Every structure is written in C-alpha cells, then in structure tokens.
C-alpha cells in the first residue's frame, strides 16, 4: 500500500500536452520526495492523458473531467482527492525549482498551526525563456487588509496551504474564470496567518493563450471579486478598484465604465487618480494615458531641476 504523502500537488490541465512534461519533471526533481501529484484533465482534446501516462511513477495520479468545467473546478477536484496534509498548486505551464516543497513544508512545521498558507518568490519568463521580472515576497502575518488592497500573492503555483484551511473556506469559487486565486487568498487570510519564502522557487511562464492573459476575463474576474468583498474594503480601497475597473472597461463597455467611475467618485471625491479613471471611462483609455505621460514628464523635469540646484 502506498504511504500517505506529506504534500499533494494539484495540477489542472486543459490542452497542455506540450508543456505539461516540464511541470511534472519539476515535481519529480523536488528535494522533498514524499509527495503525490494529482493531474486533473479538464476534458482536454489533445494528448494530455498519453503524456501523463508516459511518466512511470506511482505517485502521479490522473483524473479526467467529462466536460470542461474550468480551472477552479479542476483544483477543487484535485483537492478533494488529495491525501496529503498540505496542498501545493502547480499550473501546467509553470515549473518549480527543486527546493520549493521542502522549504515551504519546513516553514509550516516551524510556524505551527498559526500559519495556514505559504507562498514563495517567482521568476517571470517570456516565451523565449528570458527573465521578465523577479518577485521576492516580504508580506506575511495577518494580511487580510493588505490582500483587499491588491493580490500580492498572485498565481497558485507559488502557494502551498493546509488542506484543512482550504476545506474550511469551501474551496475555490468555480464560478470565477479569472481572479479566483485572489478571491481564495482573501478568504483564507480571514482564518489564518500567511508565511513567505524570501527566495525564488517558481518559474512562471507567460503565454498568449493563458486564461489570465485575457483582458475581458480579467475585467470579469476583478468585477466579481470586488462584488464579493467590497463590503470588507475601506472606501478608499473600493474606490481605487472601481477606478481601475472603469479604466479597463473604457474600451469595451462604456456604460458599465461610467457606472464604475461614478461609484468611485461617490466613495472618494476629488482624488486625482479616481477622477482620471472616470475620465478614462467616459472617453476611453487614450486620454488617460496621454494625461499621465504628461504628468510623468513634468515630475521628471521638476526632479532634474531640483538636482541641478
């Protein structure tokens, strides 16, 4: 009989046969070897099942959805099947460095039950394999208010969490096709402290076909998260999110953009960024970009002028 793993790695996959081997190989290369990997095939039409079957390792499990239900549903399916105390999420097009699981489990064990979620630093890679950005985390502890301001955790590939915490919040919101991770972190942070590994353990590969790359999906996801959690936000934070929504909506849905802009002004009157957002919602994003490019040039000129004195 298989031993009970410490960590269950959950990887949703939909038509990712070309990149999935890289993700699986990075799990096989982990320094901590007491894991299971659950790959949830969200009704792919490619060779995903054959690719997974090519890895002859009993710790790798394959589950298939009969219809496409989305990433959140796939993550919930994997979490429900998991046997480990800790859940780690790895997107099919990302990869981990070898110390990822070991460092996160060590933090859980040293911190005790007060920490229910841990996230690591990441490197963003473009399609050519070049480094675009490096993000080293520093925010930890009781972070609920900070997460209402912005999603500093980001992608699920950075995160491990206690399975009991995910069960306590009811899993991922399967109605969300974008920003479901931010929604999850907000809900989790109400119940537990968050810890961070201050080094890069994740390679995040950016691609044009990712769900997270769709502007319309981002708008829909952000609007839904704001709807769910707005009552928890200070007026200034809610206004800023509404202003951002009005900018994003400016070139897609002018009516909703104007509504978001008006709500932002009610919450926080006469703040320059909110007024600019409302302008963008009325006229589109081009005037907004023009205005702030001029302001940036003015700030630079003032800075240079002071430096010369």
Instruction: Enumerate long-range contacts of 261-265, CB under 8 Å, 24 or more apart.
Output: 263/239, 264/239, 264/240, 265/239
In a domain, 229, yes or no: no
| 266 & 159 share domain | no
| 149 & 255 share domain | no
In a domain, 222, yes or no: no
| 178 & 258 share domain | no
In a domain, 221, yes or no: no
For residue 46, give every residue at least 6 positions away whose Cβ sits within 8 Å of its Cβ, in sequence order, or none.
15, 16, 17
| 63 & 133 share domain | yes
In a domain, 141, yes or no: yes
| 16 & 95 share domain | yes
In a domain, 1, yes or no: no
| 123 & 16 share domain | yes
| 119 & 64 share domain | yes
In a domain, 157, yes or no: yes
Is 80 exceeded by the pLDDT of residue 240?
Answer: yes
| 58 & 162 share domain | yes
Residue 272 belongs to domain spanning: 234-308
**Spatial distance between the Cα atoms of 296 and 137, rounded to a whole number of angstroms:** 28
| 29 & 165 share domain | yes
| 132 & 257 share domain | no
The CATH number given to whatever domain includes residue 105 is 3.90.550.10
In a domain, 45, yes or no: yes
| 126 & 159 share domain | yes
Is 80 exceeded by the pLDDT of residue 284?
Answer: no
**Spatial distance between the Cα atoms of 207 and 305, rounded to a whole number of angstroms:** 42
Percentage with pLDDT > 90 across the chain? 66
* Number of domains, the chain: 2
In a domain, 289, yes or no: yes
Residue-wise pLDDT for 81-129, tens only, equals: 999 999 999 999 999 999 999 999 999 999 999 999 999 999 999 988 8
- Average pLDDT over the chain reads 85
| 28 & 142 share domain | yes
Would you give the DSSP letter of residue 141? B
Confidence of residue 293 (pLDDT cuts 50, 70, 90): low
């Amino acid at each position: 009989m298989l031993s009970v793993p410490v960590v269950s790695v959950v990887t949703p996959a939909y038509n990712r046969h070309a990149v999935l081997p890289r993700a699986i190989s990075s799990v096989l290369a982990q320094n901590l070897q007491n894991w299971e990997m659950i790959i949830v095939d969200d009704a792919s039409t490619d060779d995903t099942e054959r690719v997974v079957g090519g890895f002859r390792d009993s710790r790798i499990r394959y589950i298939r959805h009969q219809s496409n239900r989305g990433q959140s549903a796939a993550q919930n399916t994997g979490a429900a099947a998991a046997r480990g105390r800790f859940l780690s999420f790895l997107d099919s097009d990302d990869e981990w460095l070898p110390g990822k699981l070991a460092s996160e489990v060590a933090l859980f064990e040293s911190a005790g039950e007060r920490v229910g979620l841990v996230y690591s630093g990441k490197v963003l890679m473009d399609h050519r394999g070049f480094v675009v950005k490096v993000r080293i985390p520093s925010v930890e502890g009781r972070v609920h208010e900070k997460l209402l301001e912005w999603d500093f955790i980001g992608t699920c590939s950075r995160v491990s969490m206690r399975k009991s915490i995910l069960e306590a919040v009811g899993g991922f919101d399967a109605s969300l096709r974008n920003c479901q991770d931010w929604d999850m972190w907000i809900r989790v942070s109400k119940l537990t402290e968050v810890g961070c590994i201050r080094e890069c353990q994740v390679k995040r590969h950016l691609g044009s076909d990712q769900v997270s790359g769709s502007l319309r999906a981002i708008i829909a996801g952000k609007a839904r998260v704001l709807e769910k959690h707005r009552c928890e936000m200070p007026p200034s934070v809610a206004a800023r999110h509404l202003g951002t929504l009005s900018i994003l909506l400016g070139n897609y849905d002018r009516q909703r953009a104007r509504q978001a802009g008006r709500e932002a002004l009610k919450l926080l009157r006469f703040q320059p960024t909110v007024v600019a957002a409302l302008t963008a919602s009325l006229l589109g994003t081009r005037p907004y970009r023009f205005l702030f490019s001029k302001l940036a040039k003015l700030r630079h000129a003032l800075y240079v002028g002071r430096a010369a004195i």
